[in-house]
Chains A and B, each alone.
Chain A
């Protein structure tokens, strides 16, 4: 009997521990689901949550790691089912989520239309970042060039693609990019080359307009250009296998310049992985591709109004400046709405455009074509 009593007590205790997780979306607790990585959730835990809760007494944030895009998409599907049955979706805000992913979600009014939601800061959002009215861009990340200012004077740093190519050829062995399928920094460098041979017109590429003959006319010239570049790269045509390895080579002073994600480069500098003398620059004729991270707010969430307040809060100068300084990302608002001191500090990074290269069949074509056309024609053992 004693043992049975113990089991009962333990079971009750365990059940009680699980209760808060199973409870319905509580009043005043905004359930935020993330598809982004741990560094973003850390940013919310350490910056967004305390600031928002201090400014809005009685409202707290419950930050939930949705794992990845598919994880959050499943919560979105559940919310759509809850909308149909008029029940509580137990979620309020999706971070790093494209509301298009939920099939029929936008058509059935699952997501708040931010154009009519009356956010006081909505007009500040960077016009380059606008997508559809149910996606609210609040931070961005873009590939840019990171370089060693002790070897390359910032005054002479290339700022257009032709200048960059000329610089790489004039300084053999000082540039490396990673394989396009192994990380976005090299991947978007290759995509920038593709834009270059297609008249710098990102509108030529959409998610569903790839065809085999476009491979020959639009991709092949870019691969030829990259192949011509190969002998001037590090070690006569070597390519690192990821974003981090490129940063490491720059940190070891083995190369002078690499393409890098803005947030990775900025946090690497902050953590001392890259020295303070690292410079960052964006091409001004057409930036290296990147993208904005969006969020969606559920129209049927129990805390919809509080979630909208949170969305509005994210666009304030306080949080947007922190995105730059703490997260190493780009602000989602126009650069006019971050502090002048930060605008000055990141002046070289302010892009004129942020092209966003589509995925779909283009992606496989680039991943296969680059390996066949660019990578092997240099004998790595030579």
Chain B
């Protein structure tokens, strides 16, 4: 293989250069087409071409059933609720951590960072059972409260708050890392300059820091939302029997009700919601590139 220096590349006409680049990305693009795009298309076709006695025919019956079935809709709405609450809580929890890590140079910060990244290495199935031990009924928290004479808490286990707490904990590392990388773009000079003209802490956050990391916030939220929307293990073990989140709902429809077509319909609808957040992410990346 011959190596070309940047100068030489500049002299090569665009028409000659293009095939090499395309070849380099061919493998991932083909994999994405084969393993992601094609299954999506085939799933949509499966849900729209319903088998009838006279062969398969076009029908939106499966979607009509989903959107007219109160049980399915309540599952969808609990999924949206969980995702929304998790996104807000993640920001509330992770932004202060990221700000602290960005502006502190003490030894403690290193430990805090290690602690914030820790959940990444805990498999969610282990997290779930640990959650039952700690926050579950008569769990560690109850025992500690009891020891100091406080009343028992009402356990979030098997309520919609169970998966929320678990998912937030599980998503802290990724969110903190993305926010932290965004905060790297905030220069110390800009902050010092603002301080010199008398900006307070909140003015600093609102006018200097947040505008510079809005992109990172959007990316962090998109990533978290995409993962949470289709989460399975935590809602399955920690959540209530009904309403279910879409992940357990799809799995149950597929495996326990032997109804693949309805399960695929649920998957397509889930995908439809996720693609909106995916587009947010793509848009912000494109905006970053342009800038």
Task: Give me the interface of A with B, judged by CB distance under 8 Å.
Answer: 179, 181, 234-235, 238-242, 245, 248-249, 252-255, 363-364, 367-368, 371-372, 375-376, 380-381
Contact = CB atoms under 8 A, between A and B. Distances in A.
A261 B136 CA distance: 22
Given A241-B236, A249-B136, A367-B256, A376 B159 contact: no
B160 A380 contact: yes
B71 A248 contact: no
Contact of B137 (A252, A372, A380, A381): A252
B242 interface: yes
Residue among B155, B158, B237 with the most chain A CB within 10 A? B158
Given A238-B241, A248-B129, A375-B242, A254 B252 contact: no
Interface string B235-246: 011011111100
Contacts of A248: 129, 132-133, 136
4 tightest A-B CB contacts, nearest first: A254-B137, A375-B242, A380-B240, A376-B242
Contact of B241 (A254, A371, A381): A371
Contact of A235 (B129, B158, B243, B259): B158
Contacts of A381: 159-161
Contact of B257 (A242, A252, A368, A375): A368
- Interface size classification for chain B: 20 to 34
Contacts of B158: 235, 238-240, 380
25 contacts: A235-B158, A238-B157, A238-B240, A238-B241, A239-B240, A241-B239, A241-B241, A242-B237, A245-B237, A248-B129, A252-B136, A252-B138, A252-B139, A254-B137, A254-B138, A363-B256, A364-B256, A367-B256, A371-B71, A371-B241, A372-B71, A376-B241, A380-B158, A380-B160, A381-B161
A376 B244 CA distance: 9
A304 to B, nearest CB: 38
Q: Which secondary structure dominates chain B's binding surface?
A: loop
B137 A371 contact: no
Contacts of A181: 252, 256
Contacts of A252: 133, 136-139
Given A238-B157, A380-B240, 8 more contacts: A235-B137, A254-B136, A364-B258, A371-B252, A375-B240, A376-B241, A380-B158, A380-B242
B256 A375 contact: no
Contacts of B187: none
Contacts of A380: 158-160, 240-242
Nearest to A368: B257
B256 A239 contact: no
Given A254-B137, A364-B257, A367-B257, A376 B74 contact: yes
A249 B142 CA distance: 14
Contacts of A242: 237
Given A245-B132, A252-B137, A252-B138, A235 B155 contact: yes
